[in-house]
Amino acid sequence: MRTRHTKETVLNLEQQKKQARELLRAIRSGNGEAVARLRRHHARWATAQDSEVGIQVSLHDAQFALAREQGFASWPKLKAHAEPASRAGHTRLFEPDMT
């Protein structure tokens, strides 16, 4: 079970993308745990037949479920939280004295 992230937590967006792709592959292969995760976090798939889920599910569905597992309302919210952290290493080391 994943925990809810706070602003102090650093998310690696590339790792999150990789996890979403892995979840999608597991859902498409019929993995019961992966399908249950999708159903638990995505109302669209809550009552769909297993065969329908495996055929019609897409990456954005897996991303949405992953974001919800981590306490975000949507994938774009997770992404917005993760992106500033990826740019945090870019700081200005030198500022000229203009006086």
Q: What is the pLDDT of residues 46-87, one digit of tens each?
A: 999 888 898 999 999 999 999 999 999 999 999 988 876 455
Non-local (6+) Cβ contacts of 38 within 8 A are 23, 27, 45, 53, 57, 61, 62, 65
Task: Inform me whether the pLDDT recorded for 8 exceeds 60.
Answer: no
Note the residue count of the chain.
Answer: 99
Average pLDDT over residues 5-28: 84
CA dihedral 40→58→22→35, nearest 10 degrees, is 30
What pLDDT shows up at residue 1?
45
Does position 88 have pLDDT exceeding 60, yes or no? no
Where do the structural domains in the chain lie, given as residue ranges? 13-85
Residue 3 clears pLDDT 90, i.e. is over it: no
